[in-house]
């Protein structure tokens, strides 16, 4: 039985090499992106066409919700195709990997709310608006539950975990995280053309700054928690909850881009430390070379 040797300052070394994942091959990764973008954009195209007057659509809500499942469905399909049911069950199990480490819980649950609150507070200095939060604890908990299952977290993070496993093979982690941040931003592109969405009132370039900075944080958390998808699910939910707690989006809808710009800048500043550590970490994600060992013929 092999024994793991401790490394004094291996900031991104998973705590248990026995749970290392098989990295998707390049063809599997390409297929994932084709499916993820194709499925999401197909459903999101319907509200776009309806908004252009081609047909009547009472509400785009369910098309937006279902479309967001593209990365999840794509990761499940490609994992099952390449590795079979066993690989799929192992992949799903990472969403239940609750041994995150108590020292990372403040980052997961508090970092983005603090950053968002600071961005909102800075914007009130120039607007004269009073800084306040009106949501009750019950409303916060219910909103958190909704956002976890239908607000982007569950729909996306299995897919982006699959993607970073593949992008991290043969690349420095900072490069992989930054590339995925750009891809993540572009994946949202159709939402910018659907009236009523948060993205429809956001400048795309600011949004991409936010997605790259945020994805660096996601990858740092993912690496530090033994590739726990549950950790990124919770972090994503905390992110979206923060945008609901503080009126960043309503200010955007009113034509004030300053709060969101502050948020993007503060996210970039918060990501500097993890980015440096990702760059210094010469390890790739702890993945096996290819994802075909359990492939069924």
Return the pLDDT at 170: 84
Q: Report the percent of the chain where pLDDT is more than 70.
A: 88
Give the pLDDT band of residue 63 (cuts 50, 70, 90).
very high
Return the pLDDT at 283: 54
Radius of gyration, CA atoms only, the chain: 20
The secondary element (H helix, E strand) that includes residue 287 is strand 287-288
d(CA 285, CA 168): 6
Q: Which two tokens stand for residue 106?
A: 């403040």
Residue 39 makes CB contacts below 8 A (sequence gap 6+) with: 67, 69, 70, 73, 74
d(CA 249, CA 259): 9
DSSP state of 12: T
**Domain map (residue ranges) of the chain:** 99-285
Angle (deg, nearest 10), helices 173-187 and 272-280? 130
The set of long-range contacts for 5-10, using a CB threshold of 8 Å and a minimum separation of 24, is: 10/281, 10/283
Q: Residue 83, exposed/middle/buried by CB under 10 A (0-12, 13-18, 19+)?
A: buried
Query: What number is the average pLDDT over the span 29-34?
Result: 98
Q: How many CB atoms lie within 10 A of CB 31?
A: 17
The answer to whether 184 and 211 are in contact (CB under 8 A) is yes
pLDDT top residue among 292 and 60: 60
The answer to whether 112 and 235 are in contact (CB under 8 A) is yes
Per-residue pLDDT at 5 exceeds 60? no
Residue 216 makes CB contacts below 8 A (sequence gap 6+) with: 174, 177, 178, 181, 271, 274, 275, 278
Listed in order, strand segments (DSSP E) in 9-146 are 21-22
The secondary element (H helix, E strand) that includes residue 249 is helix 248-253
Spatial CA neighbour of 108 closest among 220, 269, 210, 206:
220
Query: What number is the average pLDDT over the span 76-87?
Result: 96
Return the pLDDT at 171: 86
pLDDT top residue among 22 and 287: 22
Return the pLDDT at 222: 96
d(CA 228, CA 94): 5
When the pLDDT of each residue in the chain is averaged and rounded to a whole number, the result is: 88
Taking CA atoms, 89 is separated from 76, 79, 92, 110, in Å, by 9, 9, 5, 31
Distance in angstroms between the alpha carbons of the first and the last residue of the chain: 32
pLDDT tens digits for 246-264? 988 878 887 888 999 999 9
């Amino acid at each position: 039985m092999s024994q793991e040797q401790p490394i004094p300052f291996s900031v991104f070394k998973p705590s248990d090499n026995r749970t290392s994942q098989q990295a998707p091959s390049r063809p599997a990764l390409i297929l994932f992106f084709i499916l993820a973008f194709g499925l999401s954009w197909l459903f999101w195209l319907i509200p776009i066409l309806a908004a252009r007057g081609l047909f009547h659509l009472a509400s785009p809500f369910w098309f937006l919700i279902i479309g967001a499942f593209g990365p999840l469905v794509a990761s499940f399909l490609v994992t099952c195709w390449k590795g079979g049911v066993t690989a799929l069950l192992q992949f799903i199990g990472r969403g239940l990997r609750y041994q995150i480490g108590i020292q990372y819980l403040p980052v997961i649950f508090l970092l983005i709310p603090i950053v968002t609150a600071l961005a909102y507070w800075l914007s009130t200095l120039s607007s004269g608006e009073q800084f306040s939060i009106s949501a009750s604890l019950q409303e916060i908990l219910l909103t958190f539950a909704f956002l976890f299952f239908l607000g982007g977290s569950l729909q996306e993070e299995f897919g982006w975990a699959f993607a970073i496993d593949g992008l991290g093979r043969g690349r420095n982690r900072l490069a992989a995280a930054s590339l995925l941040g750009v891809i993540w931003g572009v994946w949202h592109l159709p939402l910018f053309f659907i009236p009523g969405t948060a993205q429809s009132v956001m400048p795309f370039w600011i949004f991409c700054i936010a997605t790259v900075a945020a994805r660096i944080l996601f990858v740092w958390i993912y690496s530090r928690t033994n590739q726990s998808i549950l950790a990124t699910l919770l972090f994503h939910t905390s992110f979206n909850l923060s945008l609901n707690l503080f009126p960043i989006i309503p200010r955007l809808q009113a034509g004030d881009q300053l709060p969101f710009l502050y948020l993007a800048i503060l996210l970039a500043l918060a990501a500097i430390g993890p980015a440096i550590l990702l760059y210094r970490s010469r390890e790739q994600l702890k993945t096996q070379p290819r994802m075909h060992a359990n492939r069924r013929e």
